[in-house]
């Protein structure tokens, strides 16, 4: 018998993977980086959570790139302060210890990255510290899959309206 998590996972697998769950699993260990004009967007997902960050950055041309999280994290930790990290279709380049370093990126398909959830309705503006509080509260959530109420954070809109 499939658990609810397995069913949700299988239903969220893009149809174009045609059964290749290894490619899909690889994409889930990546960060999707999108660049256009002076904006760079980073997206990552576990299928239970989808995180998107948008900030200022330089792009030569509109680009979409899947970068393994481990390689991106290593580049961010190792790069010299105030140095640029360049992401090309085939490699990440940065300066570490005063020396240029280029790390090749593995082959990937953007189609394997799961689509972001789309929620109908209008967005709700949240106060500044609320997201951090929700992340902190989720650290106290139960890991027991049979107790759904204890596996999440409840956001009460009536309190936000006060």
Are 129 and 109 part of one and the same domain? no
Number of H helices, E strands in the chain: 5, 7
Are 131 and 158 part of one and the same domain? yes
Are 30 and 85 part of one and the same domain? yes
Banded pLDDT at 131 (limits 50, 70, 90):
confident
Are 58 and 79 part of one and the same domain? yes
Separation CA 115–CA 45 (nearest Å): 9
Q: pTM here?
A: 0.59
Q: What is the span of the domain harbouring residue 47?
A: 4-118
Position of tokens 């972001």? 116
- The tens digit of pLDDT for each residue in 49-106 reads 788 888 888 777 778 888 888 888 888 888 998 888 888 888 889 998 889 999 998 8
Domain count, the chain: 2
- CATH (domain of 72): 3.10.150.10
**125 or 72: which leads in pLDDT:** 72
Determine the pLDDT at residue 5: 38
Are 27 and 41 part of one and the same domain? yes
Number of Cα atoms under 13 Å in the Cβ half of residue 33: 22
């Amino acid at each position: 018998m499939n658990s609810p998590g397995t069913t949700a996972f299988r239903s969220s697998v893009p149809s174009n993977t045609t059964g290749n769950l290894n490619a899909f699993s690889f994409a889930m260990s990546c960060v999707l980086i999108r660049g256009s004009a002076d904006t760079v967007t980073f997206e990552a997902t576990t299928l239970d959570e989808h995180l998107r960050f948008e900030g200022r950055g330089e792009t030569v041309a509109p680009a979409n790139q899947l970068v393994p999280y481990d390689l991106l994290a290593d580049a961010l930790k190792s790069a010299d302060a105030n140095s640029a990290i360049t992401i090309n279709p085939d490699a990440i380049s940065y300066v570490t210890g005063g020396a240029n370093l280029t790390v090749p990126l593995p082959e990937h398909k953007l189609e394997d990255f799961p689509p972001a959830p789309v929620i109908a309705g209008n967005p709700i503006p949240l106060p500044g510290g609320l997201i951090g509080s929700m992340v902190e509260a989720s650290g106290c959530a139960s890991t027991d899959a049979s107790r759904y109420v204890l596996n999440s954070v409840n956001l009460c809109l009536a309190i936000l309206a006060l």
